[in-house]
Amino acid sequence: MKYIKGLYISLVLMMLVILVNTTIFDDEYSGITMFICLGIFIMGTAFFINTKQSKN
């Protein structure tokens, strides 16, 4: 159950970064936003893999 919460938190963080970029910065930093979202996705994936391996 922990990994589901971790994945959900990473999804919320990605959506928050995109929301801030589109509303506050008026899509000026879309490249940086995509880079940050990629980093959050990789961290979420690493968290998921780590949790799955520790269960076995």
Question: Could you tell me if 50 and 1 are in contact, meaning their C-beta atoms sit under 8 angstroms apart?
Answer: no
pLDDT in tens, 6-23: 889 999 999 999 999 999
The per-residue pLDDT for 55 is 74
- CA separation for the pair 16, 14 (Å, rounded): 5
pLDDT score at 51: 83
Confidence category of residue 47, pLDDT binned at 50, 70, 90: confident
Q: What share of the chain is helix, strand, coil (3-state, %, to 5)?
A: 85, 0, 15
Q: Confidence class of residue 28 from pLDDT cuts 50, 70 and 90?
A: very high
Give the three-state DSSP class for 35. helix
Give percent above pLDDT 90 in the chain. 66
> What is the spatial distance between Cα 54 and Cα 10, in angstroms, rounded to a whole number?
20
